[in-house]
Amino acid sequence: MGRSGDAAHECAAAAGTDVFAADEEVGGHLALVDWSATPLGPPEQWPQSLQTAVSILLSSRFSMWMAWGPELTFFCNAAYRRDTLGAKYPWALGRPASEVWREVWDEVVPRIDTVMTTGEATWDEGLLLYLERSGYTEESYHTFSYSPLRDDSGAVVGMLCVVSEETERVIGDRRMTTLRDLGSDPSVVRTEQEVLAFTDRQLDRNRRDLPFTLTYLLEPDGSARLAGTTGLPEGHPAAPGTLPADGSGVWPAGAPANGESVLVPLDRPPFTAPPLADRAESPTHALVLPLPRQGGTPYGFLVAGLNRYRALDDAYRGFLELAAGHLAAGIASARSYEAQQRRAEELAELDRAKTTFFSNISHELRTPLALIMGPTEELLTRFPHPGSPVRQELEVIHRNGLRLGKLVNSLLDFSRIEAGRMRARFESSDLSQFTADLASVFRSAVEKAGLEFRVDCPPLPEQVYIDRGMWEKVILNLLSNALKFTFDGSIAVTARARDGHAVITLADTGIGVARDEMPRLFERFHRIENARSRSHEGSGIGLALVKELIDLHGGTITADSTEGRGTSFTIRLPFGADHLDPLALVPAGERRVPSAAEPFVQEALRWLPDDGPGDLRPVATAADASGHPTGSARVLVADDNADMREYLARLLGGTGYRVDTVEDGLAALRAVRADAPDLVISDVMMPGLDGLGFVSALRSDPRTASIPVVLLSARAGEEASIQGLQAGADDYLVKPFAAGELLARVRANVELARLRNHQARWRTALVDSLQEAFFVCDEAGAVIEINAAFTDILGYAPDGLPYEPVHPWWPDAGTDPDAHRQVADAFALLVGNPKGSYTIPVTHREGYRLWVTANFNQAQDPDTGRRVTVGTFRDVTAEHYAIQRESAQAALGMWLTRATSLPDALEGALTELRHLWRADRVIAALATPDGSPSLWSTDAGLRWEDLSAEERGDVTAWLDRPSLTPFHDPTGAGITINHPQGPMAVRIDFGTRRPFTSEDQLLLSLLAGQLSQGLARAHQIDQQRETALALQRAILGPAGLPDGFAVRYEPATPPLEVGGDWYDTVALPDGRIGIVVGDCVGRGLGAATVMGQLRSACRALLLQDSGPAQTLMALDHFADGIAGARCTTVFCGVLTPETGRLIYSSAGHPPGILALPDGTTRLLDEGRSVPLAVRPGATRPEAGCTVPARATLLLYTDGLVERRRRPLTAGIDQASEAVHAGRDAAVDDLADQVMVRLVPPDGYDDDVALLLYRRPAPLDMAFPAESAQLAPVRKALRDWLGQCELPRHTVQNVLVAAGEACANAIEHGHRDAPGDPVRLRAEARAGDLRLTVADSGRWKTPQPGAGTHRGRGVALMHALMQRVTITSGATGTTVDMHTRIA
Amino acid sequence: MSTPLTLAPGRRPDGTALLTVAGEIDMSNVDELAAAIETTEGPLVIDLTAVEYLDSAGLSLLFRHTDRIELVVTPLLAPVLEITGLADLTTVHGL
C-alpha cells in the first residue's frame, strides 16, 4: 500500500463510501481495502450497525480498534495507528485480527471470547504486551476495554477495543518506585558499606529496568574495586573483584572516571558464557555510568544491564543517571558523616579543655589584662599621631582591653558579693560633690550624643558614708545606661537631702521601660530584649550590681519609668554611719580621680557615630587585592560592635572570602534579601533585630532558608547554644574565639551548605521527575510545595504558592455544586486522616474538567517538626470517562432494550441524555418530507412552533450535517443520528454556559451510534407489532357485526390484543345469526393460537347449518386433536332476529344474562354440559328461549365476573345490574358502561370477552327524496315496529309521525338538493323508542293556522310523539323524536 | 310510483254518494283521492274503514271538503282526526 493519503482520499471520494468519511486519511486507506475479498463484503452492503461502529471509530480521537464478522476483520482509527499500530499500518486494515496481533493473540483471544460469548465488556489495566511495532520486540503496557458490537438484530458479531497505552506510566511508576526506595532508608546514620548494601537491595527489586548492576569504587591508585552486585551470581566472570588501573579489565574504568557514560555491547565473552540471565531476558547492552562526586573525580562507576525490550531513550538514561546520582550521594553523605563525626569528637575534646582552662584562670584574668593594658598604654604614648595605622590598632586593643577589664571586674564583683566576700570600706564623704565629679566625666560623651546634661548637686547638710569605688560603679553604670537608651532630650543628675537621707536622682528622657519589665529591672542578667539602644552590648549585670552595691550601703534604689518618656532612678542613702558596721568604717581619704571611669566613657564613645552612617560596608579583601577568582564564597558579617566587624572583615578577607558588614539584624536581613551571601556570621545580641530573630526570619522565607548562619555570642553554655541552633543557626561560636576556629567553622559550613544544596537539588529533581502531581500541604491544608507534573496536570505553577484552601482547582461551587461538595468532602478527609486515597473532579487552570486519584500520607517535616501532608494526584480522567461511558451506554442500552416502541425508545433515550449531562432540556427533530420537522422533547408538550426562529434555523441546518459527528456551542451540544425515518438532529441544552470536552464528544457520538441502532431495532419491533396486531385483529372477531350487537375485548397481557377468549357472530344464509363466546385455557399468544383454530372451526360448523349442540359435539372432536384446546368453555347459540328465538348450548360456559324490559333478569342456564373435549362423543343438550323485544342479552367470559374470594353469582348479579342500569342507552354505549362498571380496582387480570345483543336491532335506512318511497319506508318501519312488540295505536302514532317527517324531508330535500338521500333511523330501548329523520335540505318555518297541510304535519308530529326536536342547519334538517313505551 | 290506493265510487242506500277508499293515503296519491272527491257533487260519504294510513296531505284534502262530506272510519284513524280537529268540523262515524 504505497499510495499516498491524497490518492487514498480521492479513491474514497470516488467510491462515495460515506462510511469512511469521518477521517480522511485512515478512512482513505480503509476505502482502498478490497472489502469484497473479506467476509464483510463491499461497504455499500454493510449493515447499519457496522456503518455506525466504523463512523464512531473514525470520528473518535481516542485510540480504538474494532473487529467485525466471522474473521474479526480489523479496523482502527488514527489515534490507534499513532499510539499502538506503528509500522503495521496500513497493512493491518481489513485483515483478520488474529493475523494483525499474531504475537499477542494468545493473550487477546480469551478476552475476545468472553466478549463474543457473554456480551459483557472486559477491562484490563496495565496489561503487559510485547509488541513488534517499532522494529524490535517492545515491552508495552495497555489499559483497555473490549466491548461487544452488535448487528442490527442485536447479536454480538464483533468487538470494540478502547485502548489507552500506559507504557510510559507503568514504566515511569516502576522507576519512580526504585528511585523513591533508594531515598527511603530510615536509618540516617550509615557507613559506606551500609549505603552500598542498601542500594543493592533497592536496585535488585527492579530487575526489569536493571537486569543486573555492578558498583565499582575507584581506589587512589586508579584501579576499581567491586563494591556491590545485583542480578549476577557471585564470581561471575563479568563481575571481577577488581579492575586494573590500566583499563584492560572487563569494564572500561577510564571513561567513567572522567565523568562519561559508556554503552557496552554484551555480545562476547565473558558476557555470553555463562549467560547473564535467561536467554529471553538476557540484556544485550549495559551502560557504565560514573558515580559523580561534587567538585572532584567520581567515586567510581555503576554498570547497569539494560532491558532488551526497552530502547535506551532519554527517560531510561535519565533514570539510570538518577539512580547512579543517588548512589553517589549516599556514598558522599556516608563519607561526609564519617568526617564530621571525627571533627565533632575533636571539638568535644577541645571544649572540655577550654572549660577546665577558664574555670582555673578566670580570677587571674586581670593579670594578663593588666599586662596587655600597661604596654598598650605605653605604646600609645609612643604613637601620639592620631592618624597613624599602628595607633589605630593600638586604640582598638586599648579600648577592648578596658572593656574586658570592666566586664571582668563586674563579674568578679558579683562573684564576690555572691560569695559574701565583698568587703566595703565606708568613708565619710561629700556625696554631692563626689557624684558631680563622677558625672562630669561623662559630660563630653553625653554632649557628643547631642543630649543636654544637667548636674544639680548642691552640698548636702551632712556627711554620707560610702565606699568610693562602689559608688563610682553605681553612678557610672547608671549614667552609661542612661546614655545608651536616650536618643534625644536630656540626662539629669540631682542630689538632695530629704527625711534624714541623701537622695540622688538620675533622670533621662530615653525610651523608658515597659510596665511589665519594671519588676525585673534589677534582676541579675535580665536584659530587655529588642529595646532600641545605642548598643546591644552588655552583660545584663549593671543594674543588678548597682542594686547590690547600694544594698551594701544600707540604702535603696527605685526606678520610675514611662515607656517613651524616660526613666529616673532614685537612690536613698541614710546620713551618718549608724547603720553601718563600725569595723567597715575607714577614715576619709583624699579626693582622687575616679579610677574606673575611663572604661565606661571609652565604651560609651564607641557607641556614638564617628563617621557617616551606612547599612552595608563592603570590605576590601585580600582576595580582591590579589585577584582571586570571584567564585570564592561571600560572607556577610552582622555585629553592632564596630571593632568586631572590622576584625572579622580583616580576618575573613585575608583568607580569601568576600566580606560585607552590617550593624544590626534588620540591615543584615535587607542585605541578604538583596543578594544572598554564601554564609552569614551574626552576633546574637544586636539592637533592633537580634541574631536569633534574624535567623528565624531567614528560615521562614524559602528564598533564604538554606543560607548557613554562624552565630557569635558572648554567652557561653550549652543552653545558649541550643537556643541558637534551635532558631536555625548552623553553628554557634562563643566569644572569645580563636581566629583559626572561626575560619574552620566558616569553611566547614560553606562546604556543608554546598553539599546540602546539592541534596536539596537532588530532592527537587526527584520530586520533579515524578510523573504524578506531587504536593505538600501544611496543617491548615494550604498547598506549600508542588512539582513540575502538578503544573503539567493542573496548570498551577509554583509561583502561586502557597495555595490556600479553597484551592483554585476546586470546581466552582456556583456552577457545579455537586463536584464542589465532592472535593470538599475529600479535603476534609485529607486534613483529618493520617493516610488515604480518593478520586475527585478538579478544574484545570484553563477551565476544563479533570479527574484525579489522590493518595496522601501525613509526615513530619524534619526541619520544622510540623505535621504536613504529602500527596500525589494521578490523572485518571481517561479511566473515569471510560467508566462513565460504560455506564452511560449500559443505561441507554437498558432503555432501548426495554422500549416497546419507537417513540418509547426515543423518549427514554432523550431523558437519559438529559440526565447524563444534567441538561435543562433535550430535543430531537426529525425531518419530514412536507414542511416542519417532527419534534420530541424532554419538556412535555413542546412543539416545533414553540422553538425560537433561531433554534428552528439551527436544528434545520443540523439535519444536513454528517451523522454521528458531535458539535457544540457554549450552551449546548448536538449530533445528528440516523432515525429509521430519516436524519434526526438531537440537541442537549445545558441552560448555562458549560464546557463540552472531547470526552463528552466521544461519549455523545458513542451514545448517538447506539441510539441509531436502538431506534432501528425499535422500528423493526414496531413494524413487527403492527403486523402482529393486524393478524391478531384478523383472528379475533368478525370484521363487521350484525346490527344490534356490541362487543368488547380486553386481553390480560398487553401489548397483545388477543388472548384465549373470543366472541364471534356468524351470519347464516337464512338470516339467522350464529353467536359464539368462548374461553380457552391460558392466556397470551399460546392461548390465542388455540382460540383462532377453535373459532374458525366453530364458525365453519355453524355455516354448515348445524345446531348449537351439534356444533359443540363436533368441536369436542376437533378440540381433542389440538394441544391446549381441552377444557375450553363455549357458549354457542343460533338466533332468529325477527322472532328473538335463540337455540343454544353451553360447554361449561358461564350462563348468559337476559335483561328483560320490565327490569327482571333471566339466566340462560339450560343446555349446559362439560367443557370441550372432556367427554368427546357424548351427546350435548340444547335449550331454547326467546329474546323478547327490547330485552338485552349479555354473553361474556369469566374474566368479566370472576373475582377472587367472591362467588361467581355475585359477579353475575353485578353484571345484570349493569345491564339494567344502561337499559335506555344505545347498545354500544351500554358495552362501555358494563366494562367500566365491572372493572376491578387494578384492571382486569384475565382476558375478557363481552357480547351484547338487543332486540330488535335498530332500523337504519336511507332512501331518495321521492314521494314514491314513502310506502316502502312505511312498510319497513311497520315491520320493525312489529318486532318491537308495541301496542297497535303506538305503532300507528309512530308511523304517522315518521311519515310526516319523511314527507317534509322529501318535499324540501327534493326542492333544495334533488337526489340526496333521506335517512331514517329507529332504535328501541327497554322503555323508550327513538326516531330520527335527516335530510340535506332546509325546512320552511312552520306557519300554524295557515291551513297548509305541512304546518299540520309538524303539529301532528308534536301531538303524536312525546318529544320532537327539529334542528335545521347548513347541512340539512334533522327531526329527532322520542316516545315512551308504556 | 305512488302508493297503491283503491277508490270505489258508489251510492248509499239513501242515495247519498259514497266513496270507498282502501289502502294508504299519503302525499304521493292524495291527488287521486282529490280527483275522486271532486268528480262528485253534493254530500259525500267517504268510507275510510279500509284505510290503514292517513297523513297530513290526506287530512288537508278532507279539510277542504268538510262542508259536504261525512266520514266512516275505524278507531285506527281516530287520533289523527281528533288531533287535527277534523272530527269537530264534520260528521265522523265509527269513532
Q: Is A1079 on the interface with B (CB under 8 A)?
A: no
Q: What is the mean pLDDT of residues A896-917?
A: 83
Nearest CB to A1296: which of B27, B63, B80? B80
CA–chain centroid gap for A630, Å, is 52
Q: What is the mean pLDDT of residues A1193-1219?
A: 90
Nearest CB to A1352: which of B3, B60, B75? B60
Domains A424-606 and A880-1027 share a fold: no
Write down how long chain A is.
Answer: 1382
> What would be the CATH architecture of the domain defined by A772-875?
2-Layer Sandwich (3.30)
pLDDT tens, residue by residue, A703-728: 677 788 988 876 655 566 677 777 77
Nearest CB to A1295: which of B2, B53, B60? B53
CA distance B30 to chain A (A): 11
Which range in A266-275, A382-391, A970-979, A1255-1264 is most confidently predicted, on average pLDDT? Answer: A1255-1264
User: What is the distance between the alpha carbons of residues A1332 and A948, in angstroms, rounded to a whole number?
Assistant: 51
- Residues in chain A closer than 8 A to B24 (CB atoms): 1271, 1274
Check residue A507 and give its pLDDT: 92
For residue A305, pLDDT over 80 is answered with yes
Check residue A590 and give its pLDDT: 57
Check residue A8 and give its pLDDT: 43
Weakest mean pLDDT among A42-46, A757-761, A893-897:
A757-761
Weakest mean pLDDT among A387-391, A457-461, A860-864, A1345-1349:
A1345-1349
User: What is the distance between the alpha carbons of residues A600 and A202, in angstroms, rounded to a whole number?
Assistant: 67
C-alpha cell at A558: 527605685
Domain A880-1027 = CATH 3.40.50.2300: no
Q: Name the closest residue on chain A to residue B74, using Cα atoms.
A: A1289
Write down how long chain B is.
Answer: 95
Q: What is the mean pLDDT of residues B26-35?
A: 90
Q: Name the closest residue on chain B to residue A1296, using Cα atoms.
A: B55
User: What is the distance between the alpha carbons of residues A60 and A910, in angstroms, rounded to a whole number?
Assistant: 22
Q: Which residues touch A15 (CB under 8 Å, ≥6 apart)?
A: A31, A43
Check residue A13 and give its pLDDT: 40
Q: What is the mean pLDDT of residues A1174-1179?
A: 90
**Res. A293 pLDDT band, cuts 50 70 90:** confident
Question: CB–CB of B44/B37 below 8 Å?
Answer: yes
Say whether A1271 and B28 touch across the interface (CB within 8 A). Answer: yes
pLDDT tens, residue by residue, A631-646: 578 899 998 887 788 8
Say whether A1306 and B27 touch across the interface (CB within 8 A). Answer: yes
What one-character-per-residue DSSP string does A1301-1329 give? HHHHHHHHHHHHSTT-EEEEEEEE-SSEE
Do β-strands B44-54 and B17-25 pair in parallel, antiparallel, or remain unpaired?
A: parallel
CA distance A1278 to chain B (A): 11
pLDDT tens, residue by residue, B12-24: 888 889 999 999 9
Best of B5, B26, B64, B95 to disrupt the A interface (most A CBs within 10 Å) is B26
**Res. A540 pLDDT band, cuts 50 70 90:** low
Q: Give counts: helices (H), strands (E), chain B.
A: 4, 5
pLDDT tens, residue by residue, A930-948: 777 888 888 888 888 888 8
Share of chain A above pLDDT 70, in %: 87
Check residue A1116 and give its pLDDT: 93
Say whether B55 and A1359 touch across the interface (CB within 8 A). Answer: no
Phi and psi angles of residue A153, each rounded to the nearest 5 degrees, phi first: -95, 0
Looking at domain B5-93, what is its CATH homologous superfamily?
STAS domain (3.30.750.24)
Q: What is the mean pLDDT of residues B2-28?
A: 89
CATH topology of domain A617-753: Rossmann fold (3.40.50)
Q: What is the mean pLDDT of residues A76-83?
A: 86
For residue A64, pLDDT over 60 is answered with yes
Question: CB–CB of A300/A222 below 8 Å?
Answer: no
More confident residue, A7 or B30: B30
Q: Pick A5-165's CATH classification: 3.30.450.20, 3.40.30.10, 3.30.420.40, 3.40.228.10.
A: 3.30.450.20
pLDDT tens, residue by residue, A999-1030: 788 888 888 888 888 888 888 877 877 776 67
User: What is the distance between the alpha carbons of residues A1135 and A1254, in angstroms, rounded to a whole number?
Assistant: 12
For residue A98, pLDDT over 60 is answered with yes
User: What is the distance between the alpha carbons of residues A681 and A679, in angstroms, rounded to a whole number?
Assistant: 7
Weakest mean pLDDT among A166-180, A608-622, A669-683:
A608-622
Domain A1037-1254 = CATH 3.60.40.10: yes
Burial class (CB in 10 A: 0-12, 13-18, 19+), A736: exposed
- The domain segmentation of chain A, as residue ranges, is 5-165, 186-341, 365-422, 424-606, 617-753, 772-875, 880-1027, 1037-1254, 1259-1380
- Residues in chain B closer than 8 A to A1277 (CB atoms): none
- Residues in chain A closer than 8 A to B4 (CB atoms): 1271
Weakest mean pLDDT among A251-265, A358-372, A1065-1079:
A358-372
More confident residue, A84 or A212: A212
For residue A60, pLDDT over 60 is answered with yes
For residue A1034, pLDDT over 70 is answered with no
Q: Name the closest residue on chain A to residue B51, using Cα atoms.
A: A1292
Check residue A280 and give its pLDDT: 66
Beta-bridged to residue A1379, according to DSSP, are A1329
Say whether A1355 and B60 touch across the interface (CB within 8 A). Answer: no
Class of domain A424-606: alpha beta
What 3-state DSSP class applies to A331? Answer: helix
User: What is the distance between the alpha carbons of residues A1324 and A1256, in angstroms, rounded to a whole number?
Assistant: 7
Question: In chain A, positions 1114-1153, which contact chain B (CB-CB < 8 Å)?
Answer: none
Q: Name the closest residue on chain B to residue A1291, using Cα atoms.
A: B76
Check residue A417 and give its pLDDT: 67
C-alpha cell at A466: 560610702
Q: What is the mean pLDDT of residues A578-587?
A: 81
- Residues in chain B closer than 8 A to A1270 (CB atoms): 3, 26-28
Run of H or E including A1095? helix A1084-1103
Best of B24, B33, B55 to disrupt the A interface (most A CBs within 10 Å) is B55
Check residue A908 and give its pLDDT: 86
Question: CB–CB of A1180/A1147 below 8 Å?
Answer: yes
Beta-bridged to residue B54, according to DSSP, are B25
Looking at domain A1259-1380, what is its CATH homologous superfamily?
Histidine kinase-like ATPase, C-terminal domain (3.30.565.10)
More confident residue, A959 or A760: A959
Say whether B2 and A1360 touch across the interface (CB within 8 A). Answer: no
Chains A, B: CB contacts within 8 A come to: 72
Question: CB–CB of A594/A517 below 8 Å?
Answer: no
Share of chain A above pLDDT 90, in %: 14
CA angle A739, A743, A745 (to 5 degrees): 120
**Res. A1183 pLDDT band, cuts 50 70 90:** very high
Nearest CB to B84: which of A1268, A1288, A1352? A1352
User: What is the distance between the alpha carbons of residues B77 and A1293, in angstroms, rounded to a whole number?
Assistant: 10
What 3-state DSSP class applies to B86? Answer: helix
CA–chain centroid gap for A1035, Å, is 60
Whole-prediction pTM value? Answer: 0.40
Question: CB–CB of A150/A156 below 8 Å?
Answer: yes
C-alpha cell at A223: 584501579
pLDDT tens, residue by residue, B68-88: 999 999 988 888 888 888 888
Q: Name the closest residue on chain B to residue A1274, using Cα atoms.
A: B53
Check residue A1153 and give its pLDDT: 94
pLDDT tens, residue by residue, A731-749: 887 776 767 778 888 888 8
- Residues in chain B closer than 8 A to A1289 (CB atoms): 75-76, 79
Check residue A1346 and give its pLDDT: 42
Nearest CB to A1300: which of B28, B56, B63? B56
More confident residue, A186 or A182: A182
Q: Pick A186-341's CATH classification: 3.30.450.40, 3.40.50.800, 3.40.50.1360, 3.90.79.10.
A: 3.30.450.40
Best of A1263, A1266, A1269, A1270 to disrupt the B interface (most B CBs within 10 Å) is A1270
Q: What is the mean pLDDT of residues A1159-1172?
A: 92
Say whether B76 and A1353 touch across the interface (CB within 8 A). Answer: no
Average model confidence (pLDDT) across chain A: 82
Chain B residues contacting A, CB < 8 Å? 1-4, 24, 26-28, 53-57, 59-61, 63, 75-76, 79-80, 83-84
pLDDT tens, residue by residue, A329-376: 888 888 888 888 888 888 877 766 654 454 445 556 766 776 787 788
Would you put residue A1033 in left (φ > 0), alpha (ψ -120 to 50) or beta? alpha
Q: Which amino acid is at A732?
A: Y
Check residue A3 and give its pLDDT: 41
Q: Is A1352 on the interface with B (CB under 8 A)?
A: yes
pLDDT tens, residue by residue, A610-620: 543 344 555 54
For residue A65, pLDDT over 80 is answered with yes
pLDDT tens, residue by residue, A489-513: 899 999 999 888 999 999 999 888 8
Say whether A1292 and B79 touch across the interface (CB within 8 A). Answer: yes
Question: CB–CB of B94/B74 below 8 Å?
Answer: yes
Q: Is A1358 on the interface with B (CB under 8 A)?
A: no
**Res. A10 pLDDT band, cuts 50 70 90:** very low
Check residue A629 and give its pLDDT: 36
Write the secondary structure of A412-450 as one string of H (helix), E (strand) and C (coil): HHHHHHHHCCCCCCEEEECHHHHHHHHHHHHHHHHHHCC
Say whether B24 and A1274 touch across the interface (CB within 8 A). Answer: yes
Say whether B80 and A1350 touch across the interface (CB within 8 A). Answer: no
